[in-house]
Amino acid sequence: MSPAGDLPSSPCGGVVTLVRVLSGVFAIMASIVRRPTFIDIFSGAGGLALGFQKAGFGSVWAVEIDEDAAATYAANFGHDVFTGPIESVEEVPVQADVIVGGPPCQGFSPLGKMSPRDAHEDMNQLWRQYLRIVELVQPKVFVVENVPEFVKSAEGLRMMELGRNWGYDIDADVLNAYHYGVPQKRRRGFIIGSRIGHPSFPKDRDLSRTVRDAIGDLPQNPTDEDWHLSRSPRSISVERYRQIPAGGNRFDLMRRRPDITPNCWLNKPTGSTDVFGRLEWDAPALTIRTEFFKPEKGRYLHPEAHRPITHREAMRLQTFPDDFMWEGSKISVARQVGNAVPPVLAQAIADEVFNLIESSSVEAETLSGGVDSVVTDRA
């Protein structure tokens, strides 16, 4: 028997076999080398975008009406942002694999419904503008982020229906950021549409993080540098802060020092337990909103220091890295921080989308037999 008896009898057959094997390898390598891209609609400062970037995507275009938020996005993602109302977008200058975004949600949120400005009808319809961009670009996948109530609202259900009519496989869920490594209990609704396979949501990750994990290394006395900014509260405010134990709230102030408790609270013996609350070191924060520098707006007192949390501490609790750049005034930046999707939560979603696109690309390349055509041309 020939020592080469286990090899193909024809040298040409051996080359073809080798090329077919390599074609699968090249297809996988190509899918890894190419960086999928995304467009961010209603981008804000870029919390959702940062999560997608960390998952391996590249931002190619964004739309944001707030000038400061648009400037923040541009500073961090290296390209211009269409700054203005989305209704003014007539064409999209780029193509992308994915569109992400969070249409304004005041009309759906519990706080929005409590607002005396109960005129959010126009904002409630901005999801239609989001879908208009989807129709123009026709991405492989789109991701919508919103308040949990939106997912089951008439508008949310209609949005999903339209997506299905356009050939997208749709899924929706409500995720708690705390289950994905964010040191904050923050529930957000997501809708994912895909033309390349059924979308899936990330499983809970065993990454429970606390306030201590996020801000425990920062000086308790603000340095007034790098957004670790101090405030100048009145002496009576500081005395009120002193009455609140870790995990406590305004009811502790009412019980301990009714003489310095605002009358509006004394006259309202029931209500939210978050107001004038103090964080706990070894527990997650509650939702960080846009006015975290005002203790009367939520559970925003530092776990030990008699002050509200600083901008830097809020950024950390939202999982923004310290090297993320911010543009605007202190109030504007606070609004950007509170409105953002925590990047770590966004990355959990983005990882699933990346895997979906990668699997679809490899399958398409393998089925197309692209390398075989090259061999035929060479022959």
63, 105, 196, 244: the active-site residue: 105
Select the CATH number that applies to the domain covering 211-329 from these four: 3.40.50.720, 1.20.1270.10, 3.30.160.70, 3.90.120.10.
3.90.120.10
Q: Say yes or no: domain 32-207+342-367 is CATH 3.40.50.150.
A: yes
Residue 309 is given by DSSP the state P
How do the residues of the chain divide into helix, strand and coil, expressed in percent and rounded to 5? 45, 15, 40
Task: Tell me the average confidence (pLDDT) per consecutive run of 10 residues in the chain, 379 residues long.
Answer: 47 56 52 81 98 98 98 97 97 97 72 49 80 97 97 95 97 97 97 97 92 98 97 96 97 96 89 90 98 96 98 98 98 98 98 95 58 34
Is 105 tagged catalytic?
Answer: yes
pLDDT for res 271? 79
* 278 backbone dihedrals φ, ψ, rounded to 5°: -110, 135
Q: Residue 63: in which H helix or E strand, if any?
A: strand 58-64
* 193 backbone dihedrals φ, ψ, rounded to 5°: -120, 135
Domain ranges across the chain:
32-207+342-367, 211-329
At residue 311, the 3 state secondary structure works out as helix
DSSP strand pairing (299-301 vs 277-278): parallel
pLDDT for res 25? 53
